[in-house]
């Protein structure tokens, strides 16, 4: 299974990228780092710069065709930048249009809001996104991990880095189904 991990060039929360990446590898899948620019993405540990990671695929009007599922790591700056990029928003929306599974953690649902795919869905996130999700027609819940199977496709969401164990176990189970 080929999994797209979509991040902006700067601002992804490192642990929200690396732990799901490890879970995908452990499941025997092929994770691919997708970004809006070539080179490397700069990860953060909260507000401090952390590691850099090589980009495998640069967006250029892509759709979900080359991938089986999508993971959206958080970090405040990461989804804020992605939601301002039409290529990223279109890429995310294409997974929902195709009914492919998506997983998003922490602030990542901001990109889902921008892609207009939360209406009628129930999800969780970092608490400061609750109003944005409700205003976009979704239902926000305060849960460690939440699975929404509203058509078309499955959406796995989680609140924060402390929830990563549950997030990783759940998205692996859901993506495998």
Neighbour order of strands in the sheet with 69-72: 57-58, 30-35, 2-7, 69-72, 102-105, 155-158, 145-148
Of residues 107, 146, 148, 168, which has the active-site annotation?
A: 107
42 pairs with which residues across the strands?
10, 52
Q: Are 132 and 139 in contact (CB under 8 A)?
A: no
Is 107 designated active site?
yes
Tokens of 45: 């540990």
- How far apart CA 53 and CA 62 sit, in angstroms, is 21
Of residues 106, 146, 148, 168, which has the active-site annotation?
A: 106
| 170 alpha carbon, distance to own chain's centre | 14
Q: Are 152 and 158 in contact (CB under 8 A)?
A: no
Tokens of 113: 């809001």
- How far apart CA 105 and CA 71 sit, in angstroms, is 8
Is 148 designated active site?
no
Q: List the catalytic residues.
A: 106-107
């Amino acid at each position: 299974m080929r999994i797209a991990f979509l991040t902006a060039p700067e601002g992804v929360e490192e642990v929200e990228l690396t732990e799901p990446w490890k879970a995908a590898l452990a499941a025997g899948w092929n994770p691919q780092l997708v970004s809006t620019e070539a080179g490397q993405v700069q990860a953060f540990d909260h507000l401090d710069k952390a590691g850099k990671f090589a980009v495998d695929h640069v967006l250029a009007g892509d759709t979900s065709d080359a991938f089986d599922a999508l993971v959206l790591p958080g970090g405040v700056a990461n989804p804020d930048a992605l939601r301002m990029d039409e290529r990223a928003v279109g890429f995310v929306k294409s997974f929902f249009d195709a009914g492919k599974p998506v997983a998003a953690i922490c602030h990542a649902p901001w990109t889902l809001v921008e892609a207009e795919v939360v209406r009628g869905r129930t999800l969780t996130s970092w608490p400061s996104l609750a109003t944005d999700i409700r205003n976009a027609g979704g239902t926000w819940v305060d849960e460690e991990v939440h699975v929404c199977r509203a058509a078309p496709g499955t959406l796995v969401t989680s609140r924060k880095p402390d929830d990563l164990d549950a997030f990783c176990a759940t998205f692996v189970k859901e993506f495998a189904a």
